[in-house]
Amino acid sequence: MNIDFKFSNDTAAICVVGDFVRANVALGDFIAEIRRRKIHKINVSLGGVKTWDSSFLVFINQLHDAAENYGLELKISGMPPGARRMLLMMRRGAPAAVRVLDERLSFVEFLGEYAIRTYAAICGGVAFIGRVCRSVARMVRGCAQTRATDWFFALDAVGPRAIGIVSLISFLIGLILAFVGAAQLKLFGAQIYVASLVAIASVRIMGAMMTGIIMAGRTGASYAATIGTMQTNDELDALDTMGINKIDFLVLPRVVSLTLMMPILTMLADIMAVLGGAFIGVLIMRIPAGEYFAYTMQAIDMRNFSVGIFHGLVYGIIIGLCGCYYGIKCGRDAGSVGIATTRAVVASIVWMVIATGIITFLFEVIGI
C-alpha cells in the first residue's frame, strides 16, 4: 500500500494505491501541516484501493473527524461501494458538516442508477400500500392492534382542528372566483351567472382540490414529521421489538381518519366557497340575495356534488398514505425528518393532480 500526500495552495491531496489491510496510518503530522498551511480543502482519491479491512474505515473516519473539527471541505472519490455503506453506518447521527462527493457518474451510469432507485421506490410504495390494505382488513375483522384513544386523537386532528383554515381559504377562493368571473361576465351583461360559475367550479373540483392542498400541507406534513421523529428516536424499533404492528398502531388510524373526514371537509369547503361568491355577488355587484342563491341551487346538481365528494375521498387516501409512507421511510437524523416532511407534501400534491387528471378523463368518457 502507498499513500501519497500533496499540498498546493489551499488544497491537500491524498492518493491511496494498493491493498489497505492491517494498516495504522498516523494523521497527526498531516493535520498539523494542514493547519500550518491554512488548508481549506482535502481531496482523497481511493480509486487504487482494491482490498480493504476495518483499518481503512478507521483511516477515512479520521479524515472526517479532522474535517469537522477544523471546518474543512472533504471530497472523496473512488471509495469502494461496500466501504461507503459501512462508513455511513459508522457515522450515522454524526454532524453533517462535511460534504463528501463521489466521483461523477457517466450518463449511462446515472440513468442506470436512477432507474434502479425508481424501481426500488415503486416497489416500496406498492408494498406499503399492500401492508396498509392488510391492516384495514384486520380492522374490519376486529383484530388490528389499535387503541380507541389513537382514533379519537386522529379524528380530532384532521376534523375539528382543520375547520378554521379550510373555511377561511375556501371562502377566499370563492371570493376570487366571483371577482374573476364577474370581470368577464360584465362584458355581456350576465353578472347573475357569477352564482352558477362559483357554484359549479367549487362543488365539482375546486372545493376538494383546495381542501386537499390545505390538508397536504397541514396534516400530511404532520404525519411525516411525527412518524419520522419516532424513527429518529428509535420508537419504531421499540414497537417492532414489542411485537406491535406499527402499521396498525400508527398508520391505520391516521389514514382512515383522514379518509373519513376529507369528504366532510370538502362539503364545508363547498359551502364556504359559495358564501364567498355570494359576498361579492350580493354586496359588491348588488345582485339580490334571493336571486343569487336561486341560480346557485339551479347550478348545483347531485352529479357535480358527488364528483366533488369522490375527489375529496381519493385525496384523503393519497395524503394519508404519502404522509405515513415518508414518515416510516425517514432516516435517523434531524435533517431526514425535514426531507421526509417536504417529500410527503410534494408527493401528496403531485399525486392529487395526477389523480384529478385520471378521474376527470374517466368521468368524461363515461359521461359523468
Tell me: pLDDT of 100 over 60.
no
Percent of the chain with pLDDT over 90: 33
Q: Could you report the per-residue pLDDT of 107-156, keeping only the tens digit for each?
A: 887 788 889 888 888 998 999 999 999 999 999 998 888 888 889 998 99
Residues 115, 46, single domain; the answer is no
Residues 267 and 315 in one domain: yes
Instruction: Verify that 197 and 125 share a domain, yes or no.
Output: no
pLDDT at 328 over 80: yes
Say yes or no: 85 and 112 in one domain.
Answer: no
> How confident is residue 104, by pLDDT bands cut at 50, 70 and 90?
low
Domain assignment of residue 98, yes or no: no
Given this model, what pLDDT does residue 105 score?
A: 62
Residue 164 covered by a domain: yes
The burial of 187, by beta-carbon neighbours within 10 Å (0-12 exposed, 13-18 middle, 19 or more buried), is given as exposed
Which pLDDT belongs to residue 95? 45
More confident residue, 52 or 323: 323
Same domain? 127 vs 175: no
CA 224-230-232 angle, to 5 degrees, is: 100
- 195 and 162 share a domain? yes
Q: Looking at the domain assignment, is residue 95 inside a domain?
A: no
137 and 238 inside one domain: no
Q: Is pLDDT of 27 > 60?
A: yes
- The domain in which residue 209 lies consists of 145-366
In a domain, 100, yes or no: no
Write the pLDDT tens digit of every residue in 293-323.
Answer: 888 888 888 888 899 999 999 999 999 999 9
Tell me, yes or no, whether 99 lies in a domain. no
Percent of the chain whose predicted confidence (pLDDT) is above 70: 95
Pair 215, 351 in one domain: yes
In a domain, 97, yes or no: no
Q: Are residues 158 and 228 in the same domain?
A: yes
Place 242 in a pLDDT band, splitting at 50, 70 and 90.
confident
Cell of 360: 376527470
Query: What's residue 102's pLDDT?
Result: 46
- Cell numbers for 346: 410534494
Tell me if 340 sits within 8 A of 330, measured CB to CB: yes
Number of folded domains that form the chain: 3
How confident is residue 23, by pLDDT bands cut at 50, 70 and 90? confident
Say if residue 299 is in the same domain as residue 179. yes
Contact 274, 227 (CB under 8 A): no
Assess if residue 356 is contained within a domain.
yes
129 and 179 inside one domain: no
Q: Say if 269 falls within a structural domain.
A: yes
CB of 237 closer than 8 Å to CB of 339? no
* CB crowding 27-59: b at 16 or more within 10 Å, else e: eeebbeebeeeebeebbbbbeebeebeeebbeb
Asked if pLDDT for residue 97 goes beyond 50, the answer is: no
**Range name among 82-86, 221-225, 315-319, 352-356 with the lowest pLDDT average:** 82-86
**The pLDDT value given to residue 91:** 65
User: pLDDT value at position 92?
Assistant: 61
DSSP letter for 78, please. Answer: S
Using 50, 70 and 90 to split pLDDT, how confident is the model at 163?
Answer: very high
Q: Which three cell numbers stand for residue 257?
A: 381518519
39: CATH: 3.30.750.24
Q: Is the pLDDT of residue 47 over 90?
A: no
Lowest mean pLDDT among 107-111, 186-190, 220-224, 335-339: 186-190
> Mean pLDDT throughout 250-258?
93
- Measured between alpha carbons, how far is 45 from 79 in angstroms, rounded to an integer? 8
CA dihedral 136, 141, 143, 145 (to 10 degrees): 20
Check residue 99 and give its pLDDT.
Answer: 41
Same domain, 32 and 86: yes
